Structure 1
C-alpha cells in the first residue's frame, strides 16, 4: 500500500515533467524550476528542486517571498485548489499513470505549510508600520499619479529583504499592505521595497512579495457596498480608485489570486479591472464565471495600455473616467468625484 511519502517520492522522480505540466509559466534554471508561487504564477521567487544534490532531495520547493515550503503533493493542492487529501492523491496517481485501486495513506511525515505562523509574523510586521502620510510610501504612490490611499497601507523604513538565491538579509524601506479575509481578519502582508530617493520600486530581485495567506483574500479599500471593484496589483487598483474614489476595492495581487478571490456575501455586483495580458484576462474570466454562477452581476473592464496605472500616467484620469462611463454605464457616477466628467 502506497503512503503519501511514497507518492511524493514517485512525483519527485519526475520533477521536471511535473513542473512543466503543473507550473507551465515557470522556467528551467539549472537544477531548479523557477516560478512565482505555488499556484503557478509567473515569477522567480519560488524554486522547485529537480535533482538530488548535496543531501537535498528533488521534489522539494521553497517560496522565498513567503517562506512557504513543501513537496509536489502540496503543489497539486495549490494549483488545483484541492483541500481533501484523497483528491490530491487521485490527481497525483493520474499524473503518474497509477490505477485508482492503489490506495494512498496520509503520512505524518508529509510536509505541512505552517500558515498560522506566517500570518502571525505578518500581523507583527504590520503592527510596527506607520501611517503613510508624509512618508516615502505616499511619495511613491503620488509619483505614479495615485491619489487614493487607505488604512490598509503602511510605511516601514527597515523590512528585511533576502535575494531569492542569497542567504544574507538586509533591512530596506518598504510599503506594507494588509491582506484580509471577508471577516476582516489579517491573513498576510504584501511588501513592496522602495527606492526612496527615486520614489519608485527598488531595483531588487522580486521586490514585491507576500507573507501569509493570500488565497481567497485581498488588500481592501473603502466601505462595505453592494458593488466591489476587483483587480490584480495594488497600484492598478489604487489607480482605479483615483478615478472612482468612492468605489470599494479589492487588490488580489496576482492574476491567479484574482481568479481565486472569495467574493463577500454582501456583494451583488462585481467590477473586474484586469491587466491587459493573457494571465490577467484568464484571472478575470475565472472570477467572472464564479460570480455569475452565484447570481451576481459582472462587469469586466480592461485598460488601454498594460494596466490602469499605465493609463493613469499616460492618458489621464478624465480619459479613463470617460471610458468607464461609456462601457460600465452611468452607475460609475455614484463612485466618482463631484464634477468629474464632461460639464
Structure 2
C-alpha cells in the first residue's frame, strides 16, 4: 500500500486542475480512450467516456477559453478535468480523488500559504436554476402546438403539466449569435416537486422534428438527481425511471397508469434520487453499454436502500423505436407480461 503521508495532506485542487489541463490530450487518452480527437477537442458521448459527440473537452487554450474545460451539449453540464476524473472514479472520496490526480501528474502541489485556492467544483448556480424556472413559466400548454406535433410524430400522446411550448426560446450559438427557435419545454423537479430546471428540445417548424443545430436537446438549471415527472409520483409505490424524455414517455404510452421519471441521460439515470417511499423502481434503460451501466448502478443503490429494482430493456436501441416499429399494443403486451411475472402487486398496470 502506498504511504502518502503528509505529502498529500494539503493538496491544492486548483493546482491539480491546472496541471491536468496542461496535459489535457494525454489525460483524455488515458482516462477516456473510447473518445476521439477532433480538431482542438476530445469528443465522447457523456461523462461515462463512451463513444459519441455530445461532450467535448478543449485540449488547448484558445483566446480566453481555457484548456481542459468541458461541456456536455446535451444537458448543459460543464466543468474541468478534475470534475471528469471525479465522475470516472465515482464513488470516490474527495481526498482520494486529489491523491489520484496527484499520482497521475507525478507531483503534489500544496495549498498556498494563505490557505486560498481558486478551484471550485462545477455546480449549478442558483442563477441557472432560477433561469430554468423562469423559462418554463413562460411556456404555454402544448395542445395544438409544434411541441405536440413533434411528440405525436414520435408516436407519443401521453402528455402532462410537466410539458410546455415556447414559440421562440433563445440560445447562444458558438459564435455568439443569439438564436430564437421554438422549443418543447419540460420542467425538471426534485422529490418535493420544486422546479430545479428546464429541459429544452429545440424544434424545426418546417419538419416538426428536431432543429438542425448542434445539440438540439439542452438543459437549463439543475438536473443531477432530479427528473421530469409524469403521473402520481408522490403517491406511487412503483416508479418507472427512464433515460430520454421520448423513450420514457414511450413506455408511458404502453403503461398509462405508471408514474414516470425521465432523467434525460444515462448518467443522470444512474444518479437519480428516487423517493424513499416507493417499494419498487422499474428502470427503463436504453439498449447500449451506457444504459446497461446506468441501470446497474441505479439498481444497486435502490437494492441497498431496500427498494426492489427491476430493469426493463427494449428489443431495439430504445423504447421509442420499439413503440414506433411495433405499435403501442405489442409494446404494452410485452411489458405487461414482464411486469406481471416479476411483481404480484403493483400500480403500474391494472391487475387481471
Query: Matches of residues 182-221 of structure 1 in structure 2 within 5 Å?
Result: 182-221=191-230
The more displaced of 193-202 and 328-337 is 328-337
> Structure 1 residues 311, 332: CA separation in 2 closer, same or farther (over 3 Å shift)?
farther
Cα distance in 1 for residues equivalent to 2:33 and 2:196? 28
Cα distance in 1 for residues equivalent to 2:186 and 2:120? 29
> Structure 1 residues 332, 145: CA separation in 2 closer, same or farther (over 3 Å shift)?
farther
Does the aligned pair in 1 maintain the 2:11–2:98 contact within 8 Å?
A: no
1:270 to 272, 275, 281: 281
Compute the displacement of 1:17 (Å).
2.3
1:93 to 76, 86, 102: 102
2:333 to 303, 306, 322: 322
> Structure 1 residues 286, 112: CA separation in 2 closer, same or farther (over 3 Å shift)?
closer
Query: Matches of residues 205-284 of structure 1 in structure 2 within 5 Å?
Result: 205-223=214-232, 224-284=235-295
1:144 to 151, 154, 165: 154
Compute the displacement of 1:16 (Å).
1.2
What residue in structure 1 maps to residue 19 of structure 2?
Answer: 10
What residue in structure 2 maps to residue 33 of structure 1?
Answer: 42
Compute the displacement of 1:38 (Å).
5.0
> Structure 1 residues 104, 79: CA separation in 2 closer, same or farther (over 3 Å shift)?
farther
What residue in structure 2 maps to residue 310 of structure 1?
Answer: 321
Aligned length: 336
What residue in structure 1 maps to residue 348 of structure 2?
Answer: 335
> Structure 1 residues 122, 25: CA separation in 2 closer, same or farther (over 3 Å shift)?
farther
The CA deviation string for residues 174-217 of structure 1, in whole angstroms up to 9 with x for no partner, is: 00111111222211111101123322222221111112221111
Q: Residue 335 of structure 1: SS of its match in structure 2?
A: coil
Does the aligned pair in 2 maintain the 1:243–1:336 contact within 8 Å?
A: no
Structure 2 portions without partners, runs of 5+: 1-9
Does the aligned pair in 2 maintain the 1:325–1:332 contact within 8 Å?
A: no
Cα distance in 2 for residues equivalent to 1:150 and 1:215? 22
Normalised by the length of structure 1, the TM-score is 0.87
**1:134 maps onto 2:136 in alignment:** no
The more displaced of 317-326 and 12-21 is 12-21
Compute the displacement of 1:111 (Å).
4.5
The CA deviation string for residues 54-78 of structure 1, in whole angstroms up to 9 with x for no partner, is: 4544223345566654332232334
The more displaced of 21-30 and 116-125 is 21-30
Compute the displacement of 1:123 (Å).
0.8
The more displaced of 205-214 and 33-42 is 33-42
What residue in structure 1 maps to residue 184 of structure 2?
Answer: 175
What residue in structure 2 maps to residue 155 of structure 1?
Answer: 165
Cα distance in 2 for residues equivalent to 1:68 and 1:257? 11
Normalised by the length of structure 2, the TM-score is 0.85
Structure 1 portions without partners, runs of 5+: none
Does the aligned pair in 2 maintain the 1:65–1:211 contact within 8 Å?
A: no
Does the aligned pair in 1 maintain the 2:189–2:197 contact within 8 Å?
A: yes
The CA RMSD over aligned residues, in Å, is 2.7
Cα distance in 2 for residues equivalent to 1:287 and 1:237? 16
The CA deviation string for residues 253-274 of structure 1, in whole angstroms up to 9 with x for no partner, is: 1111111111111111011111
